[in-house]
C-alpha cells in the first residue's frame, strides 16, 4: 500500500510540473505554430526563449484579431510583443595572447547568470541561486552539462558556484520531482543523464561525507523518478523509464512524457515525422527520448538503416544510463551506511549489485570486446558501438579482462588524431563520427585511469587538449564539439550551427590540463 501511495504522489508531482508551468506552445496556441513553422527565426529555440512583453492572453487576443487582416506582418508582430534573446557569448571578444587558462577564467564571468533576472512570462525557470550556463544558444542551466562544467569550476576554486548549482538541482528535484533537461518550461517533460549523484561526489570530496547526508532526500527522490512504475511491470514490459527484461531483471531507458514535437525544434520534428512510417506520436516520443539522453542525434538510437525517421530510442536500454543509475544506487546505499542504518544500506547495495549483474549480462559483447546498448524489444544487443561503452570502466563495473578489451578498442577504433570519436559511423548526425564531445572524453579517460591504463589515458587527454587549444588559437573560441578526424574542419551535423562558450568543454579542458600537468600545450 505504501509503495502505491508513493507512486501516486510521484506521478501527481511529475504531471503538475508540466501542467502548472505552461510552455510557450500552451501559452500561445496558434501563434506558436505560425511562428515556428515560418522562417522568422532560423532556429526554433529563439521564439520559445523569447520573453513576452505583456500578459500572454492579451498578446494572443491581439494575434487572433489581427492575423487574418490584410497586411498583417507576423514577424513585426513578434518583435513588437516579445523580447528576442541573444547569444550569451556573442558580445565577448577573446584576447588569444593571454592563453586558454585566462580565457576560461574570464568565460566563467561571461557564462555566469544571476538567478533573479527572470522575466515574468518567460519560459525560463526561476532558480534560487546563481549559476553557469553553457553558452551560445544554450542560455539556461542544462542537467548533465553542469557536472562537466563543475569539474572546471573546482579547478578554478569557484566552490561556492558549484554549491549553488547543486542546490539549484536539489531545489528542482523537490519542486518538480526530478531534474529537467534544462531550466525551461518546455523541458518539464523529461530529464537528462542522471549525474546528480556524481555532483554530490565532487562536493563531498571537498567538504566531507556530511554532504551525502544533506542531499540524501533528493538522491532518493531522483531515484524514485527513474524507477517510477517498476512494481506494475511483468517480464518484457516497460513503463516510462523502467524496463523489466525477460528474465525479470530491471534496467532503464530514456523516455519523455510528451508525444508531441519538441517546442524548441518544432519545425524539424514535424518535417521529420512526415518521412517516418511510425505513428507520429511514436516518432515524437522517440525523438524526445533521444533528447533526454543528451545524444541528439546518433545512429545509436536508430535501426540498421541509420536513418532518423527510423529512430527507436524507447526500445533501447543504454549502457551509460544504467551505469549512472548504478552509481545513484551505490550513493544512496552509502548515505545509509554513513548513518549506520544497515538495513537500508543493504537494500540499496543489493539493488546496485543486481543492476551491475544485468549490465554485464545484457551489455557485454565478447564478440566485439565492447559494452553495447540492448534492444529489449528484439532481445538482442544493438549493432552500433559507441563511446558510451567506456562507462562501465568509469564506474568499475567491468572485469579486468573486459577493461583490457575496452582499452584495446578505444585505442584501435575510437582514438583519432584529435581525440575519441563518439561512434564509428559517419551519418551526418552530430553524435556520430567524426565528432567528439568533452564529456565522453572525460568519462573514457577517467575510466581508463581506474584500470591503470594511465599512458593511454594521458595520450587521449593530450590529443583532446591539443584539439581544443588549436581551435582556440585560430578562432579565440572553445567549442561545443570538435571534429577529431579532419582536424582542420569544424564539427558539423545537428539541428543548429556550431556553438561556442562552452561550459563542458571549458570544464573538462581545465580539469585535464591540471590533472596531466599539460602546461607545455
DSSP-assigned states of every residue in 359-393: HHHHHEETTTTEE--EETTTTEE-S--BGGGGHHH
Strand partners, 33: none
SS (H, E, C) 241-293: CEEECCCCCEEECCCCCCCCCCHHHHHHHHHHHHHCCCCHHHHHHHHHHHHHH
Q: What is the helix (H) or strand (E) element at residue 112, kind and residue range? A: strand 112-113
C-alpha cell at 85: 534573446
Q: How many helices (H) and strands (E) does the chain have?
A: 21, 16
Tallying the residues shown for the chain, one arrives at 521
Helix, strand, coil tally for the chain in percent (to 5): 55, 10, 40
Rounded to whole angstroms, the Cα distance separating 135 from 330 reads: 33
Task: Provide the 3-class DSSP secondary structure of residue 182.
Answer: strand
Give the CA angle between residues 16, 134, 131 to the nearest 5°.
Answer: 65
Q: Which residues contact 2 (CB under 8 A, 6 or more apart)?
A: none
Cα(190)–Cα(47) distance, rounded to whole angstroms? Answer: 20
Nearest to 260 by CA among 296, 287, 297, 228: 287
- Whether 495 is a known active-site residue: answer no
Active-site residue among 263, 296, 432, 463? 296
Cell numbers standing for residue 57: 492572453
Q: What is residue 126's DSSP assignment?
A: P
Query: Could you confirm whether 329 is annotated as catalytic?
Result: no
**Annotated active-site residue in 329, 373, 480, 495:** 480
Which residues contact residue 411 at a Cβ distance below 8 angstroms, ignoring those fewer than 6 apart?
A: 456
For 5, the 3-state DSSP assignment is helix
Active site members = 296, 480
Amino acid at each position: 500500500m505504501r509503495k502505491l501511495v508513493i507512486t501516486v504522489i510521484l506521478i501527481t508531482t511529475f504531471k503538475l510540473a508540466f501542467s502548472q508551468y505552461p510552455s510557450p506552445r500552451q501559452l500561445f496556441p496558434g501563434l506558436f505554430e505560425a511562428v515556428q513553422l515560418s522562417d522568422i527565426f532560423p532556429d526554433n529555440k529563439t521564439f520559445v526563449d523569447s520573453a513576452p512583453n505583456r500578459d500572454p492572453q492579451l498578446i494572443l487576443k491581439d494575434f487572433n484579431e489581427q492575423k487574418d487582416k490584410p497586411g498583417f506582418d507576423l514577424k513585426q508582430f513578434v518583435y513588437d510583443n516579445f523580447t528576442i534573446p541573444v547569444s550569451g557569448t556573442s558580445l565577448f571578444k577573446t584576447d588569444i595572447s593571454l592563453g586558454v587558462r585566462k580565457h576560461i577564467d574570464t568565460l566563467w564571468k561571461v557564462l555566469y547568470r544571476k538567478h533573479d533576472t527572470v522575466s515574468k512570462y518567460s519560459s525560463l525557470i526561476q532558480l534560487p541561486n546563481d549559476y553557469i550556463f553553457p553558452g551560445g544558444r544554450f542560455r539556461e542551466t542544462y542537467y548533465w552539462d553542469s557536472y562537466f562544467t563543475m569539474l572546471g569550476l573546482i579547478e578554478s576554486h569557484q566552490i561556492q558556484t558549484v554549491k549553488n548549482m547543486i542546490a539549484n538541482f536539489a531545489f528542482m528535484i523537490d519542486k518538480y520531482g526530478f531534474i529537467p533537461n534544462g531550466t525551461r518550461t518546455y523541458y518539464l517533460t523529461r530529464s537528462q543523464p542522471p549525474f546528480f549523484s556524481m555532483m554530490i561526489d565532487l562536493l563531498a570530496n571537498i567538504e566531507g561525507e556530511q554532504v551525502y547526508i544533506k542531499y540524501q532526500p533528493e538522491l532518493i527522490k531522483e531515484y524514485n523518478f527513474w524507477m517510477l512504475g517498476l512494481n506494475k511491470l511483468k517480464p518484457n514490459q516497460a513503463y516510462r523509464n523502467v524496463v523489466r527484461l525477460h528474465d525479470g531483471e530491471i534496467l532503464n531507458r530514456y523516455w519523455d512524457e510528451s508525444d508531441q514535437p519538441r517546442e524548441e525544434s518544432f519545425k524539424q520534428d514535424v518535417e521529420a515525422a512526415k518521412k517516418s512510417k511510425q505513428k507520429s506520436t511514436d516518432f515524437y516520443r522517440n525523438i524526445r527520448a533521444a533528447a533526454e539522453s543528451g545524444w541528439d542525434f546518433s545512429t545509436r538510437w536508430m535501426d540498421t538503416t541509420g536513418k532518423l525517421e527510423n529512430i527507436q530510442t524507447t526500445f533501447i536500454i543504454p549502457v551509460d544510463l544504467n551505469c549512472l543509475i548504478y552509481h545513484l544506487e551505490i550513493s544512496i546505499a552509502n548515505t545509509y551506511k554513513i548513518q549506520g542504518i544497515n538495513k537500508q544500506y543493504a537494500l540499496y547495495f543489493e539493488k546496485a549489485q543486481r543492476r551491475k549483474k544485468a549490465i554485464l549480462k545484457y551489455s557485454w559483447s565478447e564478440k566485439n570486446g565492447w559494452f553495447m546498448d540492448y534492444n529489449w524489444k528484439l532481445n538482442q544487443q544493438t549493432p552500433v558501438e559507441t563511446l558510451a561503452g567506456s562507462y562501465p570502466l568509469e564506474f568499475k563495473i567491468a572485469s579486468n579482462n573486459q577493461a583490457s578489451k575496452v582499452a584495446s578498442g578505444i585505442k584501435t577504433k575510437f582514438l583519432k588524431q584529435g581525440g575519441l570519436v563518439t561512434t564509428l559511423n559517419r551519418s551526418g548526425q552530430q553524435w556520430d563520427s567524426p565528432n567528439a564531445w568533452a564529456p565522453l572524453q572525460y568519462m573514457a579517460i577517467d575510466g581508463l585511469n581506474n584500470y591503470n591504463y594511465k599512458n593511454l589515458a594521458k595520450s587521449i587527454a593530450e590529443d583532446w587538449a591539443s584539439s581544443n587549444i588549436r581551435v582556440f588559437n585560430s578562432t579565440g573560441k572553445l567549442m561545443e564539439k570538435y571534429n577529431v578526424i579532419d582536424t582542420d574542419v569544424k564539427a558539423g551535423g545537428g539541428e543548429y550551427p556550431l556553438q561556442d562558450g562552452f561550459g563542458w568543454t571549458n570544464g573538462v579542458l581545465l580539469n585535464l590540463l591540471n590533472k596531466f600537468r599539460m602546461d607545455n600545450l
